[in-house]
Amino acid sequence: MSKVVLVTGAGRGLGTDIGREALAAGHQVVATGRRPEEVEKTLGGPQDNLLVTQLDVTSIEDAAAAAQAAVDRFGRIDVLINNAGNLFAGYFEEISPAQMRQQFETNLFGPMNVTRAVLPLMRRQRSGHIITITSTAGLVGMEFTSAYAASKFAEEGWMESLRHDVEPYNIRTTVVEPGYFRTELLVEGSTTWPELSIDDYAPRTAPTIEGMKSMNGRQPGDPAKLARALLTIAGQDKPLQRFVAGADAIEAAEAKAKELLAQAEASRELGGSLAYDDAPPPRPGNTDQA
């Protein structure tokens, strides 16, 4: 069934693939980006089922205007795909405070801005689907990605909680955790290297940057296949709440799950005996925390 799909960051990389695949599948597509003329050109020019509109996800005003333009043109928004993002790479001490804030502005507050603009429309419809693309780095912290992983872990927590907020209005959520896909994340303009330089890190910084650059164009994942998979999920009556995308991502998620279970078990003796002596035993599913 045809849906109205709004995708952010549609001018390059995975966002372009999502836009192309959605159009090919007969959906009505709202393709957004900071340079709309480039987005339209990338997607093949003007089309009846395509609306291209300006959207810098860090702008609340842009987000509101894009959502309104979508409704003015197509009457509704069925699926929001929060795809736009970037990567500030580097060791924590070498990433400036300004760079850390920029990372969160784009990767966390950006999708929040767009989702905040779209949710009132979906609540009125009593239907909708929010798909947010995080990363394997939202599950597993890795060397040289402290800023990126922090922003993606934050996205994960936001989306897991948002699900409970919007379920009563028949709005579904899906978190997508891709592994390494051959997108444009590692090209200049999408990846920013650290502003600061500390002698202790220098012997590791330069080769790590070169190693990351050498990965571009060699990632195993096919973004067109990922785009088609996302549209499959968008068409499910009960969509996946979490989509671990790519064999490498699945392997990483399994390893992290085993690690968490092992650490919970190792904490049991010391961590399981910290309640007041007269406190009732915890109830299954109780999420109250200090």
144: left (phi over 0), alpha (psi -120 to 50) or beta: left
Q: Which of 91, 148, 169, 276 is catalytic?
A: 148
- Burial zone of 97 (CB within 10 Å; 0-12 exposed, 13-18 middle, 19+ buried): exposed
Distance CA 155, CA 37 (A): 29
145 phi and psi angles, rounded to 5 deg:
-130, 30
List all residues 6 or more positions away from 212 whose beta carbon is below 8 Å from its beta carbon: 89, 144, 186, 191
Distance CA 78, CA 20 (A): 17
Please name the amino acid found at residue 59: S
Residue 148 annotated to the active site: yes
- Residues involved in catalysis: 148
